[in-house]
Structure 1
Amino acid sequence: MKKAIIFTRCSSSGSLESRQDTTRQVEDLNHYADVNALTVVKVFQEHISGGKTNKERPLLQEAFSFSLENDIDVILISELSRLGRRCDEILESIKWLKDHHINCYFLKEQLSIFSPSGKENPYLTIMCAVLGTAAELERETIYYRLKSGRDKYVRDGGRLGKPKGSGIKTKDQMATEYKSILKNLRTGQSVRNTAKITGFSPSTVQKVKREFAL
């Protein structure tokens, strides 16, 4: 079987919503891997703004290096915008993967760098340029809306920042946020293997195991 890694990205680093979205990405890509007889050897879950450059995304660089060092056949990504929101950054990443003959599959767009026979997709660069430009426009629109809403909130007397105690999670919230960890622990996976499969740190897995008495 061919070896694959999963790479996911969400814009926020700590909110429950972002973790839920990452979990959905992982589940969808794991399903794709199962259907296509791919062995997922590691999951990378990045929580960072899509506006960051490639050089400002250490986990993306780690995923690429891991793929090269471990002879990974394909990187699975839920959609093109998870690779980046700037067209030049996306094309730079695609070029690096091409040069090292590492395939990359985008689930939403159903695009890959190489076909199953190993031939390069001649339309990929064009599609990446079009979709990457659309992602840039989307990012600018989101930024404008957020800034406009924040400015109005402050003008109306609102205060920015997290409410006191907002960082404390309930057990139900943890069950939702760490669904993939619980699933693997309950099937008998070790802390180390669970961390490797889900992309969470061993300390986080250990915390969940202790909290749910597994």
Structure 2
Amino acid sequence: MKVVLFARVSTNIQDYDRQINELTGLAKRNGWKIAASFSEKVSGAKKNNERTELLRMVEYVEANHINKVVVTELSRLGRDTLQVLEVIEMLNAKGISLYIQNYNIETLTDDGKVNPMSQFLITILAEVARMERKTIKERMDSGYQNFRANGGLVGRKQGYRKSDEAMKEEYAEEIRLLKRGYSLRNVSKLTHTSINTLRKLAIKFLLNYSSIASKRRQF
């Protein structure tokens, strides 16, 4: 059984050695072979597409046919519920189980099916995420209504068109992932950018995107 260890701390003054040591001991006790370890010092509130080590880890486990990713606790994947759910769902879809040490559960069973206990946990997280989205939407709607009530205009100015340079700057991460051959669907999951927008970016800036993507496995 090959596993990858993943650790995260929020600030530069913190150290992730304790997490790696705990996970190394856990792997030895269970007879798991450690294929690689990934560690990052980054706020858990950052989006997945801003987390270089997380992206490298997900790419590595797929390319090297890793069976399991191990973390000390769920918050090591991030503190943003939506971002954590994305990682779990992405790993599940690829048949890669996530072992969460403090809960002593895995997201997948030995036959690759979703673990009922982890599904219960994910369901709770999904409901929390839904409530967060609802709260954000209500705040935005309230802000728009107040802005309009005071004579404000919402939307782009008529005839407005974003320059190529502005698009390159705004969608720099999306373009970088597309250049590396990541599929439109997975780039959309990681960055929350619509597939239609990604397709336009690919056509506009990456005329040879199809050939790039065909040279490697879809992420």
Q: Once the 2 structures are TM-superposed, how far is the Cα of residue 11 of structure 1 from its aligned partner?
A: 0.3
- Alignment TM-score, normalising by the size of structure 2: 0.55
- 1:161-205 C-alpha deviation (Å, 9 max, x unpaired): xxxxxxxxxxxxxxxxxxxxxxxxxxxxxxxxxxxxxxxxxxxxx
Structure 2 counterpart of 1:102: 96
Query: Aligned in 2, Cα 1:58/1:129: closer, same or farther, shift over 3 Å?
Result: farther
Q: Of residues 52, 59, 77 in structure 1, which corresponds to 2:53?
A: 59
Aligned length, in residue pairs: 130
Ranges in structure 2 where 5+ consecutive residues have no aligned partner: 133-219
Larger-gyration structure (1/2): 2
- Alignment TM-score, normalising by the size of structure 1: 0.56
* Equivalent-residue separation in structure 1 for 2:34 and 2:45 (angstroms): 28
Fraction of identical pairs, as percent: 30
* Equivalent-residue separation in structure 1 for 2:107 and 2:78 (angstroms): 16
Retained in 2: the 8 A contact 1:12–1:47?
Answer: yes
Q: Once the 2 structures are TM-superposed, how far is the Cα of residue 96 of structure 1 from its aligned partner?
A: 0.5
Structure 2 counterpart of 1:12: 11
Please provide the CA RMSD for this pair.
2.2
1:26 aligns with 2:26: no
Ranges in structure 1 where 5+ consecutive residues have no aligned partner: 138-214
**Bigger relative CO (Cα 8 Å, ≥ 6 apart):** 1
Retained in 2: the 8 A contact 1:90–1:128?
Answer: no
1:86 aligns with 2:80: yes
- 1:118-177 C-alpha deviation (Å, 9 max, x unpaired): 33212323313546859xx9xxxxxxxxxxxxxxxxxxxxxxxxxxxxxxxxxxxxxxxx
- 1:23-71 C-alpha deviation (Å, 9 max, x unpaired): 1101110111011111001111110011111111111010000000001
* Equivalent-residue separation in structure 2 for 1:6 and 1:121 (angstroms): 20
Retained in 2: the 8 A contact 1:87–1:129?
Answer: no
Retained in 1: the 8 A contact 2:7–2:40?
Answer: yes
* Equivalent-residue separation in structure 2 for 1:129 and 1:50 (angstroms): 20
Letter in structure 2 aligned against 1:102? I
